[in-house]
Structures are given as C-alpha cells and as structure tokens.
C-alpha cells in the first residue's frame, strides 16, 4: 500500500487483556462447535497475515489460501511482527462458513475470491484491495452486502531460509462503508484504527489518486516512495497528479490542485523508505495491479472522451515489464 501511515492506535491491543483472551476462547469454542467463523480473510499475503495475526486474540479468523497446499504451509507456522503465528488456514474448496469476509487478494484474483466468498454464506464481503475492485466483486459475489473500503495499513513479506517473515510497515487506518460496522468493531478491538466512513466514495478516489501517481513510477524506476520527491522523478509525479485530477474531480473527488499535490507528496514523504506494492510485485516477478489502478483511471477518462497521455504511457511501460 502507498497511503500515509496514520499515528499508532491509542487503544491497547485487545490481545493483552485477560478478559479479551477469555472472550476469544469462548468465541473460538462456539465456532468450533458450529463450524462457522465470525470473520474470514481471503488472501494470506503480507497484509492478510498482518490482519489475521492481530485479530486472532479477539475472534477466530479463517484464512483462505490459494490452494490446500498453501494452506498447509501456513498452518505449519509463519512469523508475523516477530512472533510465531499458526493461522487456521484453508484451501478455497475447504473454506468454512463465516459471518464476514475480507478480501485482500491481488486485483486480478478478485473474481475467484468472490466465488469463494459466496460459498462461505457471509452476511457481508468487504474488499480492502488496491484499485477499484468493488464493481467486479459485486458482479461475482452473491452475499447480501458487498462493498469496498480502503486501508492504509502496510506490511511486507520477507522470505528466508528459516521461512517467511511478515513485517508491519506503518500503522494506518481502515475505512469501511456503512453496513460493515461489525467489521470495524472487530478491527478496533484488535488494536487497529478503523471506522465507518459515510464518504467512502471520496476516500476511494483519493486513494486512487495517490496509488496512480506513486505506484507506477516506483515500479518503473525501482525506487522507494520517498525518492519520487527528488529530481528527476518529482516532475513526473506531479504531472501524473495534475493530469488525473480533472477526471477524478468529475467523479466526485473534492480536492483542488494544491490539495491533491500536497496529499500525494505527504504520502510519499511519510512512506519514504517503503517499497510500493507495484514495485514489490515487479521485483518478485508477479503480475502487478496496474490495470486496477492506472487502468481504472484510464477507463474513467475514456468514458469522458479525455486523454491522459502520461498515465497511458506508464501503463504501457509497466505492462511491458510485467512477467
């Protein structure tokens, strides 16, 4: 993720409270008896594991991996934030029922994740993915509530001889749409900053602006976010912001040029040492989320018969460098 980390949560971590542990054990026993989880996370990447590890002392969490073999590796244990973590992991075909499902897969895997979520018979499915994936999720998911929030939590995975390690890379905030109050409450109980945002559409557009400016340039130049504030990258960063702004304002983004530039610069400064998610994908030889980020912006522009040559160029370059 590339948004700016918010100040650390002021609430004590729920896992440090004896009462919370007793409550979590009681809920875990109930889940074991019923076979239904209170919460599930589809996508055990760095961020999915970060969320699951924080939530484990509050509520039983089902972690849905790409396949049964990946789930078995996760159950063997992974280090998250310096501690051993053995998640209750499942393959898609073994996914249990759950009240609420958070989707944290890469944008290209959204349709598959939506099908898995539907089989879990949830009350609601919440995307916290990069890009604008809400419409695609709704098109493939039959849950009563399906929507997209945003999160500025960050984490990265480090692979080594002794197994994977997941490191948080800055405390952020998670915004959820109305109707997902229960999810926000669970996140807060786990010591994460979360709230319901009635203006979630504006927040999604603001995050798209930040991601469309920072992610492709970080991936193309293979630099941490902070380097984009220095020459020669700064002029390209500002060009992407200025070019995107009229299209996003037409969609409802309430930022003028000075505020838009200030927001993107603040994110790049606050996450100066971080590697953007698109850069991490590029370095790992994975498909990037360029179509869900820059591609989404270009589709908005096309609907208004507007050309965005700078964004079109970086889209073409990133696609050319993808595996």
Catalytic residue numbers read 207
Query: 211: Cβ–Cβ under 8 A, 6 or more apart, which residues?
Result: 2, 3, 130, 131, 293
Tell me the Ramachandran region of residue 58: left when phi exceeds 0, alpha when psi lies from -120 to 50, beta otherwise. Answer: alpha
Tell which residue, 16, 3, 14, 1, has the closest CA to residue 192.
Answer: 14
Query: 296: Cβ–Cβ under 8 A, 6 or more apart, which residues?
Result: 131, 132, 208
The whole-angstrom separation of Cα 302 and Cα 323 is 27
CA distances 153 to 4, 34, 286, Å, are 9, 32, 21
Q: How far is CA 216 from the centre of its chain?
A: 17
The whole-angstrom separation of Cα 150 and Cα 93 is 27
As a whole number of angstroms, the longest Cα–Cα distance in the chain is: 60
Helical segments of 143-232, H only: 181-189, 200-221
């Amino acid at each position: 993720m590339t948004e700016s980390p918010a100040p650390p949560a002021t609430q004590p971590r729920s896992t440090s409270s004896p009462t919370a542990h007793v409550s979590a054990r009681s809920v875990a026993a109930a889940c074991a008896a019923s076979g239904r989880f209170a919460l599930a996370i589809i996508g055990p990447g760095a961020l999915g594991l970060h969320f699951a590890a924080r939530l484990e002392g509050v509520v039983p969490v089902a972690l849905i991996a790409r396949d049964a073999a990946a789930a078995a590796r996760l159950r063997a244990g992974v280090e998250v934030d310096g501690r051993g973590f053995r998640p209750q992991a499942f393959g898609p075909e073994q996914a249990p029922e759950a009240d609420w499902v958070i989707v944290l897969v890469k944008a290209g895997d959204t349709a598959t994740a939506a099908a898995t979520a539907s089989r879990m018979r949830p009350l609601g499915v919440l995307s916290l993915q990069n890009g604008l994936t809400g419409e695609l999720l709704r098109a493939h998911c039959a849950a009563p509530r399906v929507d997209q929030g945003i999160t500025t939590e960050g984490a990265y995975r480090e692979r080594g001889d002794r197994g994977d390690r997941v490191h948080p890379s800055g405390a952020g905030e998670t915004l959820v749409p109305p109707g997902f109050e229960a999810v926000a409450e669970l996140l807060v109980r786990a010591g994460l900053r979360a709230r319901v945002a009635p203006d979630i559409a504006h927040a999604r557009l603001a995050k798209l602006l930040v991601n469309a400016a920072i992610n492709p340039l970080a991936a193309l130049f293979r630099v941490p976010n902070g380097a984009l504030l220095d020459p020669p990258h700064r002029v390209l960063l500002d060009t992407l912001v200025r070019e995107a702004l009229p299209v996003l304002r037409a969609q409802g983004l309430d930022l003028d040029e000075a505020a838009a530039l200030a927001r993107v610069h603040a994110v790049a400064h606050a996450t100066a040492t971080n590697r953007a998610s698109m850069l991490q994908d590029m370095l790992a030889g994975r498909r990037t989320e360029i179509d869900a980020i820059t591609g989404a912006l270009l589709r908005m522009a096309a609907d208004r018969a507007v050309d965005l040559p700078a964004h079109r160029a970086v889209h073409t370059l990133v696609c050319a460098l993808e595996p």
